Amino acid sequence: MKKIPVLFIAMCVILSLVNAQQKQASVAISFPQHIVEYFAQPATANAALLPLLQAKTKNGETFGLNFQGVDGNAPFIELLDASGKVIKGVSVSEFLGKSSGKGVKLISSTVAGSGNRAENVYEISSSQNKYLLIVSSLATSDKSTKEIPAKLLIRIVLRNNPSTISSARINLPFFGTAETKANGFIISGKKSLQPMVGYIYPKADKLTVEKKNISVVTTLLKSTNESLLLSLSIDCANTKEEAIAMVESIDKKNENNISIVTVSNKESAEPADTVTYQIICTNIGNGSVSDIVVTNPVSTGFLYLDGSASGVETQISFDRSSAAAPQLGVVKTIKWKLLKSLNAGEEKIVTFKVIVQ
């Protein structure tokens, strides 16, 4: 584990939250030779193709992951016990929100931020347990400073899941051609030019391509209240040779890249309104990062709501304006020090509230 100090500033900006029923829920990111788009609800995107993750090159080729021709009863995600026995499965139809009669129900689908984060939340019920399956995507880049590389990160986690679940098998149907290399895969079009590369965290216990399906088996990474099934980092290459080099070198690198995305619970606000912010800190690299401090200045026109800052396993501090004792000055900056390292593919969410002046 490489230990480095990290400081990030998340500016207070009102960001939109869009329900997928009102607008197609998708997240897109541009690469030099590609546009890659993730569809949070594939069934609303293109009924003929049902894409989940689609890359389009400048020469017009399209390829990626989709559910076209896939049996709706086929498993998309299978939750396994220590012996490899399937405890619970989420079918393709259930993932698409077309079926909720077998203990799996899509309860929300949203796009947040400036269209750079999408999230589907499913409720899984059994006779003894009820827990959440969360499938999210995050497009990361900082075009102004170039500090954050362009990547598309897809995460699948369980929240409050039973301890009997120890691993998962995720089935990713694809179109185009696919092959596995080291701890990832390469998908390309018919001409095999400008492929898309997928890096998998945690390291896959088993990774295979059979017919038109990529099967990934991973051991759950458990934290305080959630377990990471899969973190899939998407990148793009200009040539097949470059793609192979990228995916085969992933275990040899120890990149430490932290992305910060800030979202709010309101699309717009009036004076005296209270706005809740979430700051999503995600490790999009492939190395563990420690000593992370998230710093958020409270912008002019907003007043921090005392006692509202929170974050599990964080140490919170404030910078205030000067004031005569015993008065406390106005909060100018909020800081969260993460008390634990952030592993590859993991995210930490901290929150606070402000009152619009």
**Domains of the chain: which residue ranges?**
6-14+257-356, 18-252
Q: Do domains 6-14+257-356 and 18-252 have the same CATH topology?
A: no
- Stated as kind and residue range, the H or E segment containing 314 is strand 314-320
pLDDT on residue 169 = 96
pLDDT on residue 116 = 73
CATH fold group of domain 18-252: Beta-galactosidase; Chain A, domain 5 (2.70.98)
pLDDT higher at 35 or 12: 35
Give 38's strand partners.
27, 53
pLDDT higher at 165 or 267: 165
Cα 86 vs. chain centroid, distance in angstroms? 25
In degrees to the nearest 10, what's the CA dihedral of 91, 97, 100, 103?
60
pLDDT band at 259 (very low <50, low <70, confident <90, very high): confident
pLDDT single digits (tens) 135-164: 988 877 544 444 455 678 888 999 988 889
Give 330's strand partners.
none
- For the chain, state the CA radius of gyration: 21
pLDDT band at 46 (very low <50, low <70, confident <90, very high): very low
Q: Residue 123 pLDDT more than 50?
A: yes
CA distances from 228 to 136, 272, 309, 346, 349 (A): 12, 39, 25, 8, 15
The encoded tokens of residue 291 equal 């000593």
Q: What is the CATH number of domain 6-14+257-356?
A: 2.60.40.2260
Q: Residue 340 pLDDT more than 80?
A: yes
Per-residue pLDDT, averaged over 258-278, amounts to 82
Contact predicate 280/349, CB 8 Å:
yes
pLDDT on residue 234 = 87
Say how far apart CA 111 and CA 198 lie, in whole Å. 22
Cα 309 vs. chain centroid, distance in angstroms? 23
Q: Rounded mean pLDDT of the chain?
A: 80
